[in-house]
């Protein structure tokens, strides 16, 4: 049973150290959040799981980690300078600003007035200055999507890896958008992370590959604890498609505030590689691209079976890390009635749990017990499964509740018997069942479990 409302998740995130308001001690900064000790682990685990499925489990995808600051040329030829806008309206009465396409009945959501300005395009890209001279000529954009840096590195990757199509380039990294209206905690923010794959295919193979990637992505979400029956596919209508897209299907999830986009899977055609290419007239580019006089690279391929240079088509699954955190936490959240109390449990898939196990000595001041617990903690940490902690609070019940709430799948308790018999108790988060295991068998138990 997911959370009843977003407040339950916000409260858990703050209380246990997953997510904090950014710049909080100075009054906060809207649309920005900081990931705390547990949030950073969860986020890293989600990213690792995506990277593993995209890069390590396959041989046709390479990774990239490119710069966030982008030259104006990149975002001019990509079409973002011209089209990456939202319609902005001002309320003449209370002076607030809104996205025109998010208004209900054309009324100001703050004061209810219908005295609004005509919508005007507002570009969402952040600008900054590069170097010591701020004369307006040396500005750079903070990238609004990670994708463009993948396109402009296409030739570098091809030349250094000898890849042939179909093949992909994967990247995880920050993106920035000066959103007019923010939404629902970390759902729509101004600084966020994306996990993007640009998969390059031969023209004509694009529609089949689009279907293939949609299926792959649904399978991946299911393996992260967001089952397919909680996801819906939304065929983006032609008139709402981004300037580069031939077809986009959004993977929608029922967030606590409603059904919204979790990931987009787009067919970007040959638009981006074609746009960033030199000698465009030698290439058979099917998209309408701006004349490029600045690029020094031909972003096309010619393989032995090809008569001419070909600009590959691109299939792009693009998922937001922050939205993934929200959806995965929401699916894992449940409140359970016990005989005489209740508990909150975060039933995260073990590979995503911020803490894999807590080792708890029954008595906080018993040196022998604490020493043994420390030894077991190090032994389990060495397995490389993720973070294992020593929880020396002396209050076993409270420790179990805390670890249920933050999604720790296993708790290992060291007690008096452990000192005599070299065994410990392992408690399972979901079933609350406890079993006695010999310390010598613990590594094998953990390796099997994870
Ligand atoms: N490269 C394609 C692209 O950027 P998009 O649909 O604008 O497409 C892809 O973004 C994903 O990035 C979205 O599905 C969402 O998960 C995430 N995303 C976009 N804008 C966001 C925002 N303001 N805050 C949080 N996540 C965002």
Is the minimum distance from the CB of 8 to ligand 1 under 6 angstroms? Answer: no
From the candidate CATH numbers 3.40.50.800, 3.40.50.12780, 3.40.50.2300, 3.40.50.1000, the one assigned to the domain spanning 355-449 = 3.40.50.800
Q: Average pLDDT in the 251-280 region?
A: 97
Please choose from 126, 264, 266 the residue to mutate so as to test ligand 1's pocket, defined by most ligand atoms within 8 A of CB: 264
Is the minimum distance from the CB of 268 to ligand 1 under 6 angstroms? Answer: no
What CATH fold (topology level) applies to the domain 6-83+136-329? BirA Bifunctional Protein; domain 2 (3.30.930)
Q: Scanning the structure block, which residue is given the tokens 């397919």? A: 228
CB 232 within 8 A of CB 252: yes
Please choose from 148, 199, 261 the residue to mutate so as to test ligand 1's pocket, defined by most ligand atoms within 8 A of CB: 261
CB atoms within 10 A of CB 131: 8
Q: Is the pLDDT of residue 134 over 80?
A: no
Is the minimum distance from the CB of 263 to ligand 1 under 6 angstroms? Answer: yes
Cα–Cα distance for residue pair 119/234, rounded to 1 Å: 26
| Global confidence as pTM | 0.95
Beta bridge partners of 324: none
* CA-189 nearest atom, ligand 1: 24
251 — pLDDT class (breaks 50, 70, 90): very high
The per-residue pLDDT for range 36-78, each reduced to its tens digit, is: 999 999 999 999 999 999 999 999 999 999 999 999 999 999 9
Is the minimum distance from the CB of 177 to ligand 1 under 6 angstroms? Answer: yes
Please give the mean pLDDT across all residues of the chain: 95
Is the minimum distance from the CB of 248 to ligand 1 under 6 angstroms? Answer: no
Beta bridge partners of 260: 253
What are the residue boundaries of the structural domains of the chain, listed by start? 6-83+136-329, 85-123, 355-449
Is the minimum distance from the CB of 41 to ligand 1 under 6 angstroms? Answer: no
Report how far ligand 1's centroid is from the alpha carbon of 193 (Å): 8
Cα–Cα distance for residue pair 283/298, rounded to 1 Å: 9
Is the minimum distance from the CB of 231 to ligand 1 under 6 angstroms? Answer: no
Is the minimum distance from the CB of 179 to ligand 1 under 6 angstroms? Answer: yes
| Closest residue by CA, ligand 1 atom 22 | 188
Is the minimum distance from the CB of 196 to ligand 1 under 6 angstroms? Answer: yes
- Mind spelling out the 3-state secondary structure of the chain? CCCCCHHHHHHHHHHHCCEEECCHHHCCCCCCEEECHHHHHHHHHHHHHHHHHHHHCCCCEEEECCCCEECHHHHHHCCHHHHCEEEEEEECCCCCEEEHHHCCCCCCCCCCCCCECCCEEEECCCEEECCCCCCCCCEEEECCCCHHHHHHCHHHHHHHHCCCCCEEEEEEEEEECCCCCCECCCCECCEEEEEEEEEEECCCCHHHHHHHHHHHHHHHHHHCCCCHHHEEEEECCHHHCCCCCCEEEEEEEEECCEEEEEEEEEEEECHHHHHCCCCHHHCCCCCCCCCCCCCCCCCCECCCCCCCCECCEEEEEEEEHHHHHHHHHHHHEEEEECCCCEEEEECCCCCCCCCCEEEEECCCCCHHHHHHHHHHHHHHHCCCCCCEEECCCCCHHHHHHHHHHHCCCEEEEECHHHHHHCEEEEEECCCCCEEEEEHHHHHHHHHHHC
Report how far ligand 1's centroid is from the alpha carbon of 3 (Å): 23
* CA-182 nearest atom, ligand 1: 23
Is the minimum distance from the CB of 323 to ligand 1 under 6 angstroms? Answer: yes
The per-residue pLDDT for range 358-397, each reduced to its tens digit, is: 999 999 999 999 999 999 999 999 999 999 999 999 899 9
- Residues of the chain above pLDDT 90, percent: 87
Of 177, 164, 170, nearest to 150 by C-alpha is 170
CB atoms within 10 A of CB 338: 8
Report how far ligand 1's centroid is from the alpha carbon of 227 (Å): 21
Residue 182: predicted pLDDT: 83
Q: Is the pLDDT of residue 34 over 90?
A: yes
Report how far ligand 1's centroid is from the alpha carbon of 196 (Å): 10
Token pair of 421, please?
């018999």
């Amino acid at each position: 049973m997911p959370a009843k409302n977003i407040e339950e998740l916000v409260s858990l995130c703050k209380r246990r150290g997953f997510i904090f308001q950014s710049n909080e001690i100075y009054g906060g900064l809207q649309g920005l959040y900081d990931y705390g000790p547990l949030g950073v682990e969860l986020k890293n685990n989600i990213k690792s799981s995506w990277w593993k499925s995209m890069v390590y489990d396959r041989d046709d995808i390479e990774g990239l980690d490119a710069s966030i600051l982008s030259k104006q040329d990149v975002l001019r030829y990509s079409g973002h300078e011209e089209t990456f806008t939202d319609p902005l309206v001002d309320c003449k009465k209370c002076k607030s600003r809104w996205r025109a396409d998010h208004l209900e009945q054309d009324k100001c959501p703050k004061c209810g007035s219908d005295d609004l300005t005509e919508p005007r395009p507002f570009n969402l890209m952040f600008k900054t200055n590069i170097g010591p001279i701020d004369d307006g000529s040396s500005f750079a954009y903070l990238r609004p999507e990670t994708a463009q840096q993948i396109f402009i590195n296409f030739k570098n990757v091809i030349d250094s890896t000898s890849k042939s199509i179909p093949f992909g380039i994967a990247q995880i990294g920050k993106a920035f958008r000066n959103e007019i209206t923010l939404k629902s905690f970390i759902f729509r923010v101004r600084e966020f992370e994306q996990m993007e794959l640009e998969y390059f295919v031969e023209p004509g193979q694009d529609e089949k590959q689009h279907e293939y990637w949609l299926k792959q992505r649904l399978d991946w979400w299911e393996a992260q604890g967001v089952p397919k029956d909680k996801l819906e596919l939304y065929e983006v209508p032609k008139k709402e498609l981004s300037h580069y897209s031939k077809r986009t299907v959004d993977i929608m999830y029922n967030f606590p505030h409603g059904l919204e986009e979790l990931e987009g899977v787009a067919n970007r055609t040959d638009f981006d590689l074609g746009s960033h290419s030199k000698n465009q007239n030698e290439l058979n580019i099917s998209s309408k691209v701006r004349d490029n006089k600045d690029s020094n690279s031909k972003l096309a391929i010619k393989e032995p079976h090809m008569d001419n240079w070909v600009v590959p088509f691109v299939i792009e699954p693009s998922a937001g890390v922050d939205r993934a955190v929200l959806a995965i936490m929401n699916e894992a959240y449940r409140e359970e009635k016990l005989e005489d109390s209740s508990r909150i449990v975060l039933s995260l898939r073990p590979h995503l749990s911020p803490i894999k196990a807590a080792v708890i000595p029954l008595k906080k001041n018993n040196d022998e017990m604490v020493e043994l617990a420390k030894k077991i903690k190090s032994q389990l940490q060495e397995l490389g499964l993720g973070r294992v902690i020593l929880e020396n609070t002396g209050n076993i019940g409270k420790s179990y509740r805390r670890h249920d709430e933050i999604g720790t799948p296993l708790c290992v308790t060291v007690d008096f018997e452990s000192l005599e018999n070299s065994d410990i108790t392992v408690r399972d988060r979901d079933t609350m069942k406890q079993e006695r295991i010999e310390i010598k068998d613990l590594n094998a138990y953990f390796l099997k479990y994870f």
